[in-house]
Structure 1
Amino acid sequence: MSTATTSSAPDLPSQWSTLVDDEVSIANVEQLLKPINDDLWVSAACVDRILEDATVQRTLLDLGIERTSQAAQRARDAAARVGSDDDEAETIQETVDERTRHTSLTSYFSQEPVDAQLCRIRAVLLERLDRLNTWVEICKEAPVQNEDEEDAIDEEWEDDPWAEDNAAPAPPTSKPGKAPVPLSAFFTVDLAETACLFASQERFTALRILFDRHGTTLWPYRFSILECIPEYALATEYRELLPSFDASLNAEQRPHARSWREEADYSESPECIRALVECGVPLSVPYPAAPSRFTANPSPLSSSDLSSWYLRRIDHVLSSTGLVDAALVLVQHAASQGVPGLDEVGEDLSLIARLVYDASQGVDSAAEDWSLERWRSMSPEEVVRAYLAHSTEVSIARDIQKLVMPYLFVLESRADRAGTPDPDLITRMLYGYILDAHLDIVAAIFEASKPTLAQGQRIIKDDEDMARLALACLYGSDKLDEWPTMSRIFECLPAWDTPEIEDADADETDTTIASLGNFVTPSTTRPRVTPSDLLLFFKPLPTTSLSRALDVLDVHLESGEILARWGVPAPLRWFLQSNSNIGEQRSRANRMARRANASDDQLDTQEDWEWLLEDMLKLAGSDEGDSRSAFCLLSRDDIIRIFFSGLLSTGNFDIAKKLLKSSNLKGSLDHQIIEDICLTCSQELYDNATSGNYHFGDMKLAYDCLDVPEPSDRVVQEKEFIEATSRLCSFNLMSRPGIPISPIEIRLTKDRLSLVSRVLSSNNDAYKHTEVILDLVHKLGFRGDIVAEVKTLAMLAETALQVEDFGRAYETSEKMVNTVLLLRSSNPVAPEDPSIQEASEVCWLTCFQLGRHPEFPDVDKKLALLGRALEFCPPEKLPDILAAWRALEEEDIDQRREALAARKRGGRRRSAPRQRVTGADVAASLASRLQNMQMHIPASPDAAALANKAFSRVAANIPFSFGGRGRSYLSQDSDRSRSGSRTGADGAHVVSEQASRALQKGIGWLLGADDE
């Protein structure tokens, strides 16, 4: 609060400021405030104090209102003023444009901020004065309370041990009622919030006074306030507060409010409020924000909206408390006020009461919310299900008779009154519930409808309808474990005396089964057939057809029990769908034969498996073919094959061997069929194995399964492939980083030699075990394949070369050469055989690779390898290889000369020259090939260069890996041939980019990999 000084009493403001609120009295106001001449300071002091004493508070409010009256008048005049504020006469107009008034008033407040503050304070003081009057009236109307009740203390203090023994209890005294809220809270809290508080506390008298005196303020929030009234409160206690209906306006009637002041002050007008907000003067008392949690409804509701509100209120009362009587009282009040659309609510509430109090209740029924809106939104089918939601097998018949039937009679009578009679309503609703009910409930209903009962006692009174409902419920059910319940339903069905089935009748039965199978098969328009759909199918069938359909149902129920016994149950509709589908029948038979894999109770004895075979043959029907059996399209031989495959898949190979010698299977399967079955089963176990080790798991079963048939080439080959798989997995091959290769990946590998390549590249010492690797290749399916053997030897030599194990590389190359020579000698008349050409190509490339390697120290062996390369290479490659051979020979001569010179200088004895391959030897070995080619090799110094140029054209196409040195050996040799002298290894050229990629790919070139 701002301070001010006066000429009369300069210490009065400070004296007032030091007063505590509880010490303020009327005398203080008269002595300390009234003498101060500063209107703003006095009015601010009045608005700053909120006291609990109503008399003193009124004195403050009156003083503040008095001091702000002139400012309000000046603002009113400013709003009506037109023109500028000069010395000329001002013209006051009776009517001024609203925009001009607003501009003038806003400008005035901007220029006179004191008057702006005074107008705002005046509006607050006037509102507080109205609230003070209302608070006083509420206190007068508050109920009188006994002082003893108001100041009652806990029971433990009634027998106070320190109380005087002779003290007599004081007589009860009465005093005026206590205010529901303190005066300070009544001033500061929003009126809508206060009204909600009164509503929640059921202070209906105080709430009525608030609406009466402040109706204009509370009217937009009336429904939010009414919603705060507890739902259990009866409408008779607050009927004056409930909205009423004005029939003349066809809308909600707006009650007349008796405000404390007939006309609002100018400071409270919208014009003044808007100007104060926009004038830019910071108000010391800002305008309060509108209550955000309330939804305003300033206009009267229409008749439909008013009816909707009552319906929502009734539904809320019903759903939150379950008190139907409170809802009924509310309906009666609305009807007395003429609210339309509530005539049938009473009837609906009585039906809800029957549902709440008479129907069987579940464990969680107390927590279930029932509302009128929910009731009205429910279809008759939903209401029937609600009545019977918690019915049991024991109570279902009674609940239908006492709850559902009366409700259906009410619906039927309403339809008659509406002029739309529905004679089938009762049966339609009842049958609809039965079609959707659980099978145990259906069984209880059928037991209460047996044809042996009196007609009046039966729930389903028509025998044909019973048969149709039973067929629809059973064939439309997805249950797989309620076969006893299904049998109970079947036992309640009527039995008709029908003639024996003749051929024509049998054909008619088959046709019915086929058409029913097509009907229950899912389609794009109907993914699943429902019992209601099936009832439509069975409805036109006569008694004879129904009787035959029941006979088929009997067979299907027995078949369903057999399938369930072996852990492969199927819904009854499956027997119809698969009646003409051999694939479905075969699939189910396979599952039945393999059920021991998926079941906890394995079949361990031969007798168990013989029992399974007996049941499978029973499901196949007779040899003539029974169209009603589960496996009617499968022959006896088909069943035996499926059974034997399933037996093998379980790993019971000893039992399989015994059963092959038993009477049931002996002679049924020949050797070839047994072998095919065992191979198929072994491959299936192989593909499902997670580990390649054939000493345990599915891989062991796949290996042992091949011991059941007699040995043959196919069986031996498959066993070797399993052994090879186990060997490959032992090398820890990875399909991708961190994930070992799986058996199925090995089988699906198109080029199995690539697996050997991966073994050699991922295991440092694998190339040393030549026989082991060759045996692995043979077992991978390449036994007798010389080309595969040559490729394998080439990979071994290449791997040895990469790690610079030249001795083992040479030995492997020799073995490869001998293999190729053997292949060529065994087919002398077919030199153009693609396999011979392919083996020769691999051989000469490998020999050429090793023979020109600069790190290989043995020149004689290198020359021998180049000689073999010359022998096996195609004619167009001879110049390239000869160039390399000549460079190697010149290098050897240089080395010999240097060694000889060193020995001469050292006076040492010259050693005997070593054996070597000379140019004459090579020329002699290739004379015939050169003669056929009519090729002349020039002896000029540029011959080597020409050979090098020719070799360079093909070197890029040979993706060799040269080890870890990364030098271009061909360039090194070419430089030597040009200079005629030996050049050092340091002067060699760096290999090209293509050769580097070939180096990374290693021995992949042997497998036909792309050189990218």
Structure 2
Amino acid sequence: MSNIPVSDSTAELYTQWTNLSDEQITADAIPSVLGKVQDDLWVAAACTDRVVEDVSVQHALLTFGLQRTQATAGNAVLGAVRSWQSGVDDGDRATTPSKDESNGQPPQPADERMQRVRSLLLARLERLNTFVELCKVSAPTSEGDLDEEWEDDPWAEADGGEEASGSPSVQKTSSTSSARLGTPPLPLTQFLTADLAYIARLLASREEFAALRILMDRHGSHLWPYRFSILEAIPELADPEAYREFLPEYDPYTSRERKPDFLNVDIPPPIDGYSLRARVHQEPLTASDLTEWCKRRIDVIISVTGMVDTALAFVQHSVARGIPDLDEIGEDLSLLSRLIYDAPKPGNESDTMDDSDEWTLERWKSTEPSAIIRAYLLHSTPSTLVKDIRALVLPYLFVLESRAERAGIPDPSLSNRLLYDYIMSLPLTMAAAVFEASKPTFPAPQRLIKDDEDMVRLALACLYGSDSLDEWPTMSRIFECLPAWQNANDEEEDEADTTITSLGAFVTPSTTSPRASASDLLVFFNPLPSTSLSHILDVLDVHLESGEILARWGVPAPLRWFLQSRNDMVEQRAWANRMARRAGGSEEELDTQEEWEWLLDDMLKLVGTGDGGIKGAFGLLSREEIKKIFFAGLLSCGKFPIAKAILRNPRGKLRLDADVVEDICLSASREFYDNASSGNYTHGDMKLAYDCLDVPSPTPILVKEKEFIEATSRLSSYNVTSRSGVPISPIEIRLTKDRLSLVSRLLSNNPDAYKHRDVILELVHKLGFQGDEIAEVKTYAMLADTALQAEDFARAFDTIEAMVGKVLDIRSTVPPGIEDPKTQECSEVCWIACYQLGRQPEFDEVEKKMRLLGWALEFCPPDKLPDILHSWHRLEDEDVEYREGRIMARRNGSEAAPRKRHPQARSIPSLAERLQRIQMPDFRMPSSPLAPLVGSPDPAALASRTFHRVAANFPFSVGHRAQSPGSEGSSRSRDGSRVRLNTDEVSAQATRVFQKGIGWLIGADEEA
């Protein structure tokens, strides 16, 4: 307005006004300064130029400016005002040139400018009034609520003050009125200059809905195009109930959004300083557009906040406003909200939510119904399950059925199918709660499972499909909930038996179907009529009782096992053995006779047949077999005193034949024996094996077995080792085919064991050779050979002498002319042992050696005579030399060393006497007994062949002793009739035989 010529006094007033800051302007200062200025246009422009925070001062400015525009108010037209308004900037100061002048345009007429300024003042006054209304609904200040005078006319005193310009009361009244206003939603200067849509979005973002309502009521025509931007500015957390009136409304008559009828139509004010970048919708939206906007808003609410209840409330209010096609999403949100807010939560407070617990609308829509049902009832307990199903699952299933019908694909079985699938996946404790809530005695509306046959099929599938081993009371609870039907006739029972047989095959695992699940079983039960189902219930009753009995004794079986083993005797027998054995080895071991008799009673119950001819778990076994199994199990647990007491109880049920008891005890003992880690029968399993044989009365078989255990213990005490060098185990002893080899090992590992001849012979007898004369003779031979190796010739001779006596006794029992294999074998062992000791050079008792060779001649076969005769003649030569030495010593006056003689030595039989006892071979002999034996075979070869014939039956082997070099002597021929053998050849042959490990049988020739 610098282009307006002014006087110096007027210029001074301009300067005085412009020098006042916004804070210095008061209601008194306005008329005192501007009232003296004559230029109305300048004064009005100055009033629009100033925007202050004080409401009263701002009101005074606006009213004063309007008063100065009164003269030109009647000359304006509405179109011109709008034209002027579009070109005026509210920020222009009264002292700056206009845009028209700055752009070089000719200045506009004064009345047009005045109208534009007046229009701006009126619009700003309207906003000021709106601001005052907003302050009324805002929180009041501490000085109290607004009084009635303020509510009626907030500008009354201010207007009066304007009329009495310069009066001090105007400032007082203004300050008092300002103090009574509530807290403004935003500064006055911002409210007067900002875009109304921006202010509306700001209020919406602050959830100041009362203020937003006033703004929409007073400036609705301007804010209508921005309605959706304003709604989207509302925080997603806000309760839709608070802003439901701002939601769009659908008009079914126009099929479009309803446009509200605003009470006041104001002139759109200019955009004064803010540029609002928001979507603008000038026209009402269509139904589909409204629905899409609501769905987007719902997605934003859920994705940002996760508050499904807020989204659901938004949908409910949108539906109340007539927005179409939100029913399905409302159903989803309603059901989802129940899952999030109403479903049971984890009972443990320490449980935290993981990613799997975060539900969104998209996840809900993509999740299978079965998974949603499981999510609903994830944390339900047996006591809350039924209530949760009614409150959460059934409404969900109803919605699914309704949607299927609306889609034109009705599925009446959908609800039952989903519910049954869930029930079959439950643990038995949870399923029991469902069946208890479905008893046939309840009214149909109260039952979860309303159909009796469906209930039976479902219960059978759950029970026979379960692997539980310890929930028999729960299974019985389920069974007690099932309906009771009339018994079927014979024909129907036969069909039912066939069904049971088929069911047993169905539940038996195979390569193609390892396990039949509850769902598989339900498929099997679905086509069965009530008669078959009734018979299966009777079978189930027997199976449950059998299952309880098995579980009581520590050998539980899943319910399907009773179907699988129904026609399998081997399986029933195996389980009966487990029952008898496991009962004594369980944690609560049976220690009394009464407890074991109780076990026997239960085992016999399982053999019996129940009502309707239904057999128990051991129905294919006889009572006699069950008693045997029970008794064997009792023995396997080591309860021998209890076993004796039960056997001898005259009123007991255990009645078994003596031979049966003997066999069972023998088998149990051998089982303990085979499992023993030590052969000592004073402790461990070997003691159990020994004591087990005392349960029945003694019999020869039991006594023999006890002696074998004693022999095993004796062998273990002598530290007999196995081939691997470790102590021999009992099972190795039992499995040894030739047990005499164990005696050989004992003698080899214990140098002094041969001295205890009676102990070794007793051991041989207890090893199972009672009455075995061949084994006794071989034992004598082993003892003699071991003594020979230890150079205990005296003990070796005594042993051989006892063996000779034993062999003579054996031979005496055989009639003359009869060839007895046993006698021949004993004789062969005997002559070899006699020959071995009789030709030992270290053994210097000639008389005993002569007796040994004489026995060898007596027992040897004819083809061995040349060897023994050779040794005999050499021994005679030694004896002659000894005698000649004594004669010469006497002639020389010296005494020869006496020859040792055994105190019990008898007179040496002559050679003729020995030969008379020998049965000569069938070949032609020379006429003279002293003539040379022409064509006689080589002695070493004869001995080798003989050994190979005998060695297979000889259980021991001893390495040969090296000959003493000084034992060799010269042989002389007496009377020219002595047969001279090639001693070098015999020695060589014998050496080769020794290298094969058989020298002890034939001996080594002492001659070089």
TM-score range, shorter chain: 0.5 to 0.7
2:837 pairs with 1:864: no
Residue of structure 2 equivalent to 1:636: 623
Instruction: Identify which of 767, 781, 789 aligns with 2:754.
Output: 767
2:918 pairs with 1:934: no
Residue of structure 2 equivalent to 1:360: 344
Answer yes or no: is the 8 Å Cα contact 2:472–2:548 preserved in 1. yes
Residues of 2 paired with 1:946 and 1:619: CA distance? 78
Instruction: Identify which of 809, 820, 832 aligns with 1:845.
Output: 832
Instruction: Identify which of 717, 722, 726 aligns with 2:709.
Output: 722
SS in 2 for 1:740: coil
2:689 pairs with 1:702: yes
Instruction: Identify which of 634, 646, 650 aligns with 1:659.
Output: 646
Residues of 1 paired with 2:962 and 2:375: CA distance? 86
Residues of 2 paired with 1:822 and 1:508: CA distance? 77
SS in 1 for 2:619: coil
Residue of structure 2 equivalent to 1:803: 790
Q: 1:655: Cα distance to partner?
A: 3.1
Residues of 2 paired with 1:780 and 1:515: CA distance? 55
| Counterpart residue type for residue 603 of structure 2 | M
> Cα deviations across residues 11-34 of structure 1 (Å, max 9, x unaligned)?
xxxxxxxxxxxxxxxxxxxxxxxx
Answer yes or no: is the 8 Å Cα contact 2:456–2:483 preserved in 1. yes
SS in 1 for 2:722: strand
Q: Sort the Cα spacing of 1:780 and 1:916 in 2 relative to 1 into closer, same or farther, 3 A.
A: closer
SS in 2 for 1:472: helix
2:926 pairs with 1:921: no
2:445 pairs with 1:494: no
| Counterpart residue type for residue 553 of structure 1 | L
Answer yes or no: is the 8 Å Cα contact 1:689–1:699 preserved in 2. yes
Residues of 1 paired with 2:408 and 2:460: CA distance? 36
Instruction: Identify which of 584, 591, 597 aligns with 2:571.
Output: 584
Answer yes or no: is the 8 Å Cα contact 1:831–1:837 preserved in 2. no
Residues of 2 paired with 1:757 and 1:345: CA distance? 95
Residue of structure 2 equivalent to 1:669: 656
Answer yes or no: is the 8 Å Cα contact 1:969–1:988 preserved in 2. no
Q: Give unmatched runs, 5+ long, in structure 2.
A: 1-235, 237-299, 312-327, 1003-1008
Residues of 2 paired with 1:634 and 1:533: CA distance? 31
Q: Sort the Cα spacing of 1:889 and 1:537 in 2 relative to 1 into closer, same or farther, 3 A.
A: farther
Residues of 1 paired with 2:796 and 2:900: CA distance? 26
SS in 1 for 2:697: coil
Residue of structure 1 equivalent to 2:389: 400
Residues of 1 paired with 2:972 and 2:524: CA distance? 98
Q: Sort the Cα spacing of 1:439 and 1:971 in 2 relative to 1 into closer, same or farther, 3 A.
A: farther
Residue of structure 2 equivalent to 1:369: 355
Instruction: Identify which of 885, 888, 893 aligns with 2:872.
Output: 885
SS in 2 for 1:554: helix
| Counterpart residue type for residue 994 of structure 2 | A
Q: Sort the Cα spacing of 1:709 and 1:908 in 2 relative to 1 into closer, same or farther, 3 A.
A: closer
Residue of structure 2 equivalent to 1:307: none
- Once the two structures are superposed, the pairs formed by residues 529-678 of structure 1 within 5 Å of their partners are 529-622=516-609, 626-665=613-652, 668-678=655-665
| Counterpart residue type for residue 360 of structure 1 | P
Residues of 2 paired with 1:625 and 1:824: CA distance? 73
Residues of 1 paired with 2:988 and 2:667: CA distance? 58
| TM-score normalised over the length of structure 2 | 0.58
Answer yes or no: is the 8 Å Cα contact 2:864–2:943 preserved in 1. yes
Q: Sort the Cα spacing of 1:833 and 1:544 in 2 relative to 1 into closer, same or farther, 3 A.
A: same
Residue of structure 2 equivalent to 1:743: 730
Residue of structure 1 equivalent to 2:460: 471
Q: 1:753: Cα distance to partner?
A: 1.6
Residues of 2 paired with 1:438 and 1:680: CA distance? 44
Q: Sort the Cα spacing of 1:898 and 1:954 in 2 relative to 1 into closer, same or farther, 3 A.
A: farther
Q: 1:806: Cα distance to partner?
A: 1.4
Q: Sort the Cα spacing of 1:353 and 1:724 in 2 relative to 1 into closer, same or farther, 3 A.
A: farther
Q: 1:464: Cα distance to partner?
A: 1.0
Answer yes or no: is the 8 Å Cα contact 1:585–1:634 preserved in 2. yes
Q: 1:444: Cα distance to partner?
A: 1.6
Residues of 1 paired with 2:496 and 2:367: CA distance? 42
Residue of structure 1 equivalent to 2:420: 431
Answer yes or no: is the 8 Å Cα contact 1:555–1:629 preserved in 2. yes
RMSD over equivalenced CA pairs, Å:
4.7
Q: How many residues align?
A: 668
Instruction: Identify which of 526, 545, 550 aligns with 2:513.
Output: 526
| Counterpart residue type for residue 441 of structure 1 | M
| Counterpart residue type for residue 452 of structure 2 | D
Q: Sort the Cα spacing of 1:783 and 1:913 in 2 relative to 1 into closer, same or farther, 3 A.
A: closer
| Percent identical | 58
Q: Sort the Cα spacing of 1:869 and 1:654 in 2 relative to 1 into closer, same or farther, 3 A.
A: same
Answer yes or no: is the 8 Å Cα contact 1:881–1:951 preserved in 2. no
Residue of structure 2 equivalent to 1:46: none
Answer yes or no: is the 8 Å Cα contact 2:925–2:933 preserved in 1. no
Q: 1:918: Cα distance to partner?
A: 8.2
| Counterpart residue type for residue 915 of structure 2 | S
| TM-score normalised over the length of structure 1 | 0.58
Residues of 1 paired with 2:478 and 2:688: CA distance? 46
Q: 1:577: Cα distance to partner?
A: 2.0
Residues of 1 paired with 2:815 and 2:610: CA distance? 62
Q: Sort the Cα spacing of 1:625 and 1:442 in 2 relative to 1 into closer, same or farther, 3 A.
A: closer
Q: 1:384: Cα distance to partner?
A: 4.0
Q: 1:405: Cα distance to partner?
A: 4.8
Residue of structure 2 equivalent to 1:158: none
SS in 2 for 1:929: coil
Q: Sort the Cα spacing of 1:521 and 1:901 in 2 relative to 1 into closer, same or farther, 3 A.
A: farther
2:504 pairs with 1:517: yes
Residues of 2 paired with 1:911 and 1:791: CA distance? 35
Residues of 2 paired with 1:941 and 1:653: CA distance? 72
| Counterpart residue type for residue 366 of structure 1 | T
Q: 1:438: Cα distance to partner?
A: 1.0
Q: 1:536: Cα distance to partner?
A: 1.9
> Cα deviations across residues 896-945 of structure 1 (Å, max 9, x unaligned)?
55566566556337979989998961674257533644345886799999
| Counterpart residue type for residue 599 of structure 2 | L
- Once the two structures are superposed, the pairs formed by residues 278-317 of structure 1 within 5 Å of their partners are none
Answer yes or no: is the 8 Å Cα contact 1:455–1:461 preserved in 2. yes
Q: 1:487: Cα distance to partner?
A: 1.2
Residues of 2 paired with 1:993 and 1:659: CA distance? 67
Q: Sort the Cα spacing of 1:889 and 1:558 in 2 relative to 1 into closer, same or farther, 3 A.
A: same
Residue of structure 1 equivalent to 2:994: 995
Q: 1:554: Cα distance to partner?
A: 1.5
